Structure 1
C-alpha cells in the first residue's frame, strides 16, 4: 500500500560530518560513506566491481521502511572508486536488506549527539498522518510500520532480544572486520531530508526579490547584480549550449535546490540527466527482480552535488564521477522472514554531459 510519503519527492541534503568519536551510527542512520550498518541477522557483504574486481566503497546508506510493513528496510549503495570505472553501471551495486521489526524491540539510538535533523526525517510527519507516538518508528524515507506491529513489539522480551542483537552484531564485526577493511572508506556525513514541495514557496519569494532588485536597478541607474540562489535562468542558458531537452529539464528541476545529493520517490518518475539509449530504456522498463522475478520500480537517485563530498578517509581521492545514479527495487520488496542475505537491486548510472566539454 502506497503511503503519502511515497507519493512525493523527498530531497536528501548533507547535514554535517559524522564524527566517529562523537557519534555512533546504526541501521537507522541515513548517511554518506563510512562503513555500512547492517540490520540484525543480515550477513555483511563486501561487493566487488563488475569490471576490475576491486572491493567497492560504501557510498550511501538509506533507512527506508515501507508503509504498513512489519520490516525494517535499508538500501546500501556501493561503487568502485577507480578512475577507469567511473560512470559505469556495472561498477555500482545496490543491496536491499530487511528485518522483522519484532527482532529489534530494544532499538539502538540512531546516532548519539547527532544534529537533530540528521536522522529525524519526519520533521513534517504530521503532514503524512503520523501519530506522535509512532514518530520514532518512521524516521526513514518511506514511512514505518502499522500500529498493531508496534504494539506487538511491546509484548516481546526486550532484554532477551536486545542481547541477541548485540551478540549477533559483535560476531559479525569479529568475523568480517578484516574483509571490510579491504574496501576504501569514504568520509561519512549525515543526510537530512526536505520535501521538495516545501521549497516552492522559497523559490517564489526569491523571484519576487529578484523583481524588486531589477526595479531598483532601473530606478536608481545602478547594477547590483543577481541575488544568490537565482540559478534557474543560469541553468536554462547552460542547457541551451547542449541543445538537450532532457538535460535542460534536469537542471531546471534541481535548480529548486542545487545542494540536493539524493532524491527519493518510490514508485515515482526518475529524473534522467540525458536521454537513455533505447536499449537501456527498454531494459529498465522490463527489469525483473532477481529474487522473485516480479517487476521493479524506481525508488531513488543520487545527484551531482554528492560527487564533491566523496573523499576517502585515508586522504586519497575517490574518483567517482556521475551525472546521476538511479536505483530500481522490487515493487513488492520481496523478503523471506529470517533471511540473512541482502538482495541485489538495479543501478543505472548516467554520466554528466558537462564532462564531455573538458575532454
Structure 2
C-alpha cells in the first residue's frame, strides 16, 4: 500500500463505519508495517517483546496462529500510528481464551516527514510556475489591448534593448524572450533544490552509517518479521478498507407516510424490549443479514466508538448498558472499535489440515483514552497493549 492509499484509508474519529475485504495475495517481500492483511506472519512495527515471538494459548498451551493485522490510525490521535494483531488457537477458538488481540502504537516515522517535505517542495514549484504563467498571460493580454504597461518592470521596452514604437511582431518577440527567461530560471531553481536535497541525503546517510556501522540497513518504512515464525499458518493476502455506504431502501404503502425508507440503526434494538425472546432473536438475525448483504464479502467492520453488529440476541446482551468492560489502567469503559465477521472463515486458507474456526463475530474493545504503562508496555519505542476481544458464538 503506497502513501496515497494509506492517507485515503486513514480512519476518521467520527462514528463512520468501514468495511474490509480480502484482496490479492501479498508479496512476501512487502514488509510495510502499516498494511492490513490476513495470514502470513505479523509485520511488527519493530522487534516485539520476547513473549510475542512465539505466542502460546493460555488455555491449552498450544501454538497460536496469526489470523490478521489491521492498520487503524485515528484522526484524533495523530501522534500515533496504530495496528492490531489477532492470533487464534484452533482448538480453543470457540472461547475468549482461544484468542489474543495485541494493539501496537508508535510515533510517525521519519520516512513520512521526508515524504511530506517532497510534497511541499513539489507544491512550491507548482505555485511558482503558476505565478509566472499568470504574469505571462496578463502581459500578453495587455499587449493585445494596446496597453504599454509591463508587469515585468519594463518601461516602453527600453530595458530589453528596444526603442521607439513596437509592432505586434516585437510584442511577440518580447513574450518569447520572457518565456525563455522563465524556463531558464525555473530549471536553475529546480537544479539548485535538487542539489541541496542530494547533499542533505548524502550527509544524513553518512551520519547514519557512522553511528550505526554494525546495524543492518533497513528502509525506514520496513517492519519486523520473526524468523521461523510458528504463527505463520494461513495464506497471506491484503485486506482493503473502504467506507460503508448504505443506500436507502424505499417501500410503498403501509403507514400514514405512504413511502418509508429502511434505516439500519442499532438503536432500533430498544424498540424490541417488549417482544418475546424468539421474536427478538429473529429480528436480531434479520437485521444482521440485511446489513451484511450490502457488502456480502466483508470480513471486517470498523467504527471507533460506534456500535457492533451482532448476529444474535445473545450477542446484543454482551453490549447491554448494564455490562461494562472497564480499562484496568484508567477505569474508563472500553469502547467498540472493530469486529471480525464469520464470513472470513470460508475466505481464508490454512497451510495444514486443521479444524475450522467456529464463531459468529469477534468484537474488539479498546480504551477510549488509549492509555498504557510507560514502564511495562513500551519496547523498542513501540507500545504493546493486549485489548479485549469478545466472542459471539455461532448459531
1:96 aligns with 2:103: yes
Deviations 1:53-79 (A, max 9, x none): 212111110111121421111111111
Structure 2 unpaired stretches of 5+? 1-10, 113-117, 121-199, 252-277
1:271, distance to aligned residue in structure 2 (A) = 0.7
Q: Which residue of 2 is the match for residue 10 of structure 1?
A: 18
1:339 aligns with 2:371: no
Q: Which residue of 2 is the match for residue 267 of structure 1?
A: 305
Q: Which residue of 2 is the match for residue 177 of structure 1?
A: 227
Count of aligned pairs: 261
Structure 1 Cα separation of the partners of residues 361 and 316 of structure 2? 18
- 2:93 is aligned, of 86, 90, 114, to 86
1:194 aligns with 2:203: no
1:300, distance to aligned residue in structure 2 (A) = 0.2
1:249, distance to aligned residue in structure 2 (A) = 1.1
- Structure-2-length-normalised TM-score: 0.57
Residues 1:99 and 1:255: Cα distance change in structure 2 (over 3 Å): same
- 1:319 is aligned, of 324, 336, 356, to 356
1:96, distance to aligned residue in structure 2 (A) = 0.6
Report the 3-state secondary structure (helix = DSSP H, G, I; strand = E; otherwise coil) of the residue aligned with 1:36. Answer: coil
Report the 3-state secondary structure (helix = DSSP H, G, I; strand = E; otherwise coil) of the residue aligned with 1:327. Answer: strand
Range with greater deviation from structure 2 (157-166 or 274-283): 157-166
Structure 2 Cα separation of the partners of residues 172 and 332 of structure 1? 27
1:286 aligns with 2:324: yes
Q: Which residue of 1 is the match for residue 40 of structure 2?
A: 34
Residues 1:90 and 1:133: Cα distance change in structure 2 (over 3 Å): farther
Report the 3-state secondary structure (helix = DSSP H, G, I; strand = E; otherwise coil) of the residue aligned with 2:345. Answer: helix
Q: Does the 8 Å CA contact 1:96/1:344 hold for their aligned counterparts?
A: yes
Report the 3-state secondary structure (helix = DSSP H, G, I; strand = E; otherwise coil) of the residue aligned with 1:59. Answer: strand
Residues 1:167 and 1:42: Cα distance change in structure 2 (over 3 Å): farther
1:254 aligns with 2:254: no
Structure 1 Cα separation of the partners of residues 317 and 239 of structure 2? 34
1:277, distance to aligned residue in structure 2 (A) = 7.0
> RMSD over aligned Cα, in angstroms?
3.9
Q: Does the 8 Å CA contact 1:43/1:172 hold for their aligned counterparts?
A: no
Q: Which structure is larger by alpha-carbon Rg, 1 or 2? A: 2
Structure 1 Cα separation of the partners of residues 322 and 362 of structure 2? 13
Residues 1:41 and 1:34: Cα distance change in structure 2 (over 3 Å): closer
1:26, distance to aligned residue in structure 2 (A) = 2.1
Structure 2 Cα separation of the partners of residues 269 and 158 of structure 1? 47
Residues 1:298 and 1:133: Cα distance change in structure 2 (over 3 Å): farther
1:307, distance to aligned residue in structure 2 (A) = 0.6
Deviations 1:81-109 (A, max 9, x none): 22xx23211111110111111xx2126xx
1:43, distance to aligned residue in structure 2 (A) = 2.7
Q: Which structure dedicates a bigger proportion of its chain to helix? A: 1
Q: Which residue of 2 is the match for residue 143 of structure 1?
A: none
- Structure-1-length-normalised TM-score: 0.62
Deviations 1:159-209 (A, max 9, x none): 578977957999975xx535x32x352111111122111x528x88xx9xx
Residues 1:168 and 1:24: Cα distance change in structure 2 (over 3 Å): closer
Report the 3-state secondary structure (helix = DSSP H, G, I; strand = E; otherwise coil) of the residue aligned with 2:294. Answer: coil
Structure 1 unpaired stretches of 5+? 108-131, 135-154, 208-239, 354-359
Structure 1 Cα separation of the partners of residues 289 and 68 of structure 2? 23
Matching of residues 104-143 of structure 1 within 5 Å: 104-106=109-111
1:284, distance to aligned residue in structure 2 (A) = 8.7
Structure 1 Cα separation of the partners of residues 106 and 373 of structure 2? 9
